[in-house]
Amino acid sequence: MTIRMHKFCLAALGGLMTTTSLQAADLNALIWCDHADAALLEPFEKAHDVRVNVKEYEGTAAGLTLLDQSRPGDWDVMVIDSVDVARAAEAGYLAPLPADSVDTSTTFPEVALTDAMTVDGQLYGVTEKFGYNTIAYNKAAVDPADMESLGALWSGKYDGRIAIYDYYLPVLGLVGLAEGVDTADLDAAALGTLRDPLMKLRAASRQVSDVVGSQTALATGEVDILIGGGEWLTAVLHAENPDLDWTLPKEGGLVWAQAVAMVEGTEQPELALEFIKYILSPEGQARLATSSCYWGMPANKEAGAVLSDEEKAVLRWDDQAEYLSRAQLYPVPDADTDLAMQDLWTDMLQN
């Protein structure tokens, strides 16, 4: 009995080993959840006869920690906040993209950020998708006119009907906008002035929640307003509840932009580059824009030819010029300010 069990164990462990060993035809991608959609990955896998392994993360700090814990060659490509590309490149996490290998001429210029992603004359990332962190709301329960100002959230009128999206960068950015602080000026000193309004917002809100918690709360009417929300959150619920809407208030909103980049140390740069090219192609862009985890504007304008009119309507394709002119980029805190922001956020959650 023991001997047989022994053999069985060995066989089972052997099975474990082989499934975890990496095959040559694997592309390892450190990604945001929208890239995990099989509808996005499968065409690339078929075309290049590879398997794309994905690992989700949230927040640049967490992503870089994952890279710290890995060995060179573990990762081939990653998705990262466009505004953080230069920082990651300078710290040696990213590999430069070969000159002229990607065409960014059809990217929306406001989010292309090619200069910001260029370090020492070399390009390290390309924006692939963008959208807004602003106010999402239920127009059946909220006066849309009120939503034209961030001040409404502090007015007392909507106390207990607000949810805060659980990500510190955009929400602190929005609180800053409400206080008249541009995201570019959000430093340690400015952060001090945000504590008070943040805590007031907290007191007026019902919960601080991740994507699904926010969706549940909005969809079921537990809350009527989500600060930090946008089309990425309401688009997938559009069919169920057309009353869910979002707007860019007069103070403005935040535009998020995510970039795709090659990880330093990759052993298959050609394949990694092919993946990046696929993601940036009109077809890849259209699939990414309507990916199952969240929707967002494709960075490449040419995706417009592939997306249906209905999809474009949900994405508000035609309003982008106006939105982009009023939105501000994510704050780019230095390491200390970033930690101070996270501390402030933890305080807010715990009180």
Partner 1 sequence: MSIERTERRQAAGLAAPALLWTLAFFLLPFGAMVWMSLGHMEGRTVVPGPGPETYARIFSDPSLFRGIFVSLEITATVTVLSVALAWPLAWIIATRVPARWRRLALLLAVLPFWTSYVVRSYSWALVLGEKGVIMNALTGLGLLAEPVQIMATRTATVIGFTHFFVMLLTLTIYSNLVQLSPNYARAAEDLGASRWQVIRLVILPLTLPGVMTGAFLTFVLCIGDYITPQILGGNNELSLPQLIMLQLGRRGDFPMASALSVVLMAIVTLAYAASARWLKMDRV
Partner 2 sequence: MRILSWAYLALMFAFILLPVAVLVVFSFQDGRLPVPPFKGPTLEWYAKVLADRDLMAALGNSMLVALASSAVSVLLGFLAAAGFARARLPGSALLRGLIIAPMTVSYLIIGLGLLQAVNWIGLRPSLMATGIGHVVINLPLCFAILAASIGAPQQSALRAARDLGAGERQVLSLVLAPMIAPSLAAAFFLSFTFSWDEFIIAFLLTRFDVTLPVEIWSMLRSGLSPETNAVGALVFLVSVLVVVTLELLLFRKAAK
Q: Helical H runs in the chain?
A: 2-20, 38-48, 60-68, 85-90, 109-112, 168-178, 188-204, 211-219, 231-234, 269-280, 282-289, 309-315, 320-326, 335-350
For partner 2, the binding residue among 31, 40, 54, 112 (CB under 8 A) is 54
Query: Considering the complex, what minimum distance in angstroms separates the CB of residue 143 from partner 1?
Result: 21
**Burial of 144 by CB count in 10 Å (0-12 exposed, 13-18 middle, 19+ buried)?**
exposed
Judged by beta carbon, residue 55 or residue 206, the one nearer partner 2 is: 55
Least distance from C-beta 55 to partner 2, angstroms? 5
SS3 286: helix
Q: How far is the CB of 240 from partner 1 (least distance, A)?
A: 12
Nearest approach in angstroms of CB 229 to partner 2 is 13
Select 204 or 327, whichever has its Cβ closest to partner 1.
204
Does residue number 311 form part of the binding site for partner 2 (CB under 8 A)? no
Tell me which of 294, 323, 330, 345 binds partner 2, using CB under 8 A: 294
Tell whether residue 336 is a contact of partner 1 (CB under 8 A): yes
> What x-and-dash track marks residues 37-66 binding partner 1 by CB under 8 A?
---------------------xx-xx-xx-
Q: Least distance in Å: CB of 74 to partner 2?
A: 7
**Cβ neighbours, 10 Å, residue 6:** 10
State in angstroms the smallest separation of the CB of 318 from partner 2: 26
- The token pair at 179 is 């206080």
Amino acid found at 337: T
Region binding partner 2 by CB under 8 A among candidate stretches 104-112, 146-154, 210-218, 260-268: 210-218
Rounded Cα distance between 247 and 56, Å, is: 28
Single out the residue of 8, 184, 242, 339 in contact with partner 2 (rule: CB under 8 A). 8
Backbone angles phi, psi at 206, to 5 degrees: -95, -35
3-class SS of residue 170: helix
Phi, psi (degrees; rounded to nearest 5) at 92 = 85, 15
Shortest CB 50 distance to partner 2, Å: 13
Side chain identity at residue 264, one-letter code: E
Who contacts 214 (Cβ-Cβ below 8 Å, separation ≥6)?
A: 163, 165, 226, 229, 233
Applying CB under 8 A, among 90, 103, 185, 210 the residue interacting with partner 2 is: 210
Site for partner 2 in 62-121 (CB under 8 A): 69-71, 74
> Which residue, chain included where needed, has tokens 């943040």?
198
Pick what 2 binds: partner 1, partner 2, none; C-beta below 5 to 8 Å, kind-dependent. Answer: partner 2
CB of 32 to partner 1, least distance (A): 14
Cα 77 from Cα 54, distance rounded (Å): 10
189 or 239: CB nearest partner 2: 239
Contact region with partner 2 (CB under 8 A), list: 92-100, 215-223, 269-277, 314-322: 215-223
| Phi, psi (rounded to 5 degrees) for 147 | -75, 0
Cβ proximity to partner 1, 59 vs 269, nearer residue? 59
Stretch that binds partner 2, among 28-36, 196-204, 275-283, 310-318 (CB under 8 A): 28-36
Burial class (CB in 10 A: 0-12, 13-18, 19+), 301: middle
Using alpha carbons, select from 276, 304, 278 the residue that is nearest to residue 290.
304
Which residues sit at the interface with partner 2, rule CB under 8 A?
1-3, 5-6, 8-9, 12-13, 15-17, 19-20, 28, 33, 36, 38, 53-56, 69-71, 74, 210-212, 215-216, 219-220, 236-237, 239-241, 292-294
